[in-house]
Amino acid sequence: MSGEHRLERARRLLALPEGWLDCAPDGYALRNGPDRRSRVMLTLDEAEFRALKAEPGLTPRVGGGWTTGAPLPSPMPGRPGVTEGVRVVMEPDGSLSDLRANLTPSPIRWLAGRTGADGQPWLSPAQVAAAEQLEIEAETALRGASVTMRWDALPGTSAGGGPWGYGPGDRALAAARRIDKALAACGPARELVRTVCITATPLQAAEQALGLRRRTGKALLQHGLTLLARHYRLL
């Protein structure tokens, strides 16, 4: 993962309600959770720590470590998991463009913070970790042909592989093949997992796009992420 992509991912993780930085023997551990037993999402070096201190800014955390000083933008009413905004992207010729984007960290993280009537989280830690792994693979595959995101370069609805447009042996091609296998392991939830985890489509919008009945996507997504977690040997 390149330095800029690592920093973008670190800023996204720090913006989560329980995202924070902790000192570690080999740098700074970026955790998501209430304490040091929480999973380490990224390990950053001194230069990356200083970059985060400059943007979005870090403040001391109760109990040790640092959190972001920038508040999360408020989601748009009536669109769960969506925060309308603008993201600056670099075009292939090096110029910068403003691109409308969903600034919410990710639909999966939004769902991970939700609880059911029984008070239990909608998604288990293993399901969230599996979705994060798939996202990392997608980021690797997307960097193969362009600086900007091209979701059409990733596996689609077909069960088999396809021409990704990358050279043999390329890391992006290998990542695309791993994505294909991971999605195949999701069974009937394949397309829903792809839509929510890879294209970052909120669950409600994904249900509509895939023609699913309202509120049926939750159970299907949970099932798909359980199968994905087993594929990644997290269960």
> Residue 71: its pLDDT value, please?
45
The reply to whether 121 falls in a domain is yes
Q: In terms of Cα–Cα distance, which of 88, 2, 12 is closest to 52?
A: 12
Pair (220, 139) in one structural domain? yes
The reply to whether 88 falls in a domain is no
Pair (124, 193) in one structural domain? yes
Pair (132, 204) in one structural domain? yes
> Domains in the chain: how many in total?
2
Confidence class of residue 185 from pLDDT cuts 50, 70 and 90? very high
Final residue before a domain boundary, out of 52, 68, 84: 68
The reply to whether 92 falls in a domain is no
Record the tokens describing residue 153, joined without a space. 């370069």
The reply to whether 97 falls in a domain is no
Q: pTM surpassing 0.95?
A: no
pLDDT top residue among 128 and 174? 128
The secondary structure of residue 55, as a DSSP letter, is T
The reply to whether 161 falls in a domain is yes
User: Is the per-residue pLDDT at 159 higher than 50?
Assistant: no
Radius of gyration from C-alpha coordinates of the chain:
18
Pair (49, 148) in one structural domain? no
The reply to whether 146 falls in a domain is yes
Residue-wise DSSP of 95-138: -EEEEEEE-SS-HHHHHHT-B-TTS-BSS-HHHHHHHHHHHHHH
Contact present, 141 and 176 (Cβ < 8 Å): yes
Taking 3-state DSSP, the helix, strand and coil percentages for the chain, each rounded to the nearest 5, stand at 40, 15, 45
Residue 167: give the domain boundaries: 106-231
The reply to whether 217 falls in a domain is yes
User: Is the per-residue pLDDT at 66 higher than 80?
Assistant: yes
Q: In terms of Cα–Cα distance, which of 142, 122, 102 is closest to 12?
A: 102
Please state, in angstroms and rounded to a whole number, the distance separating the CA atoms of residues 23 and 30: 9
Final residue before a domain boundary, out of 68, 85, 116: 68
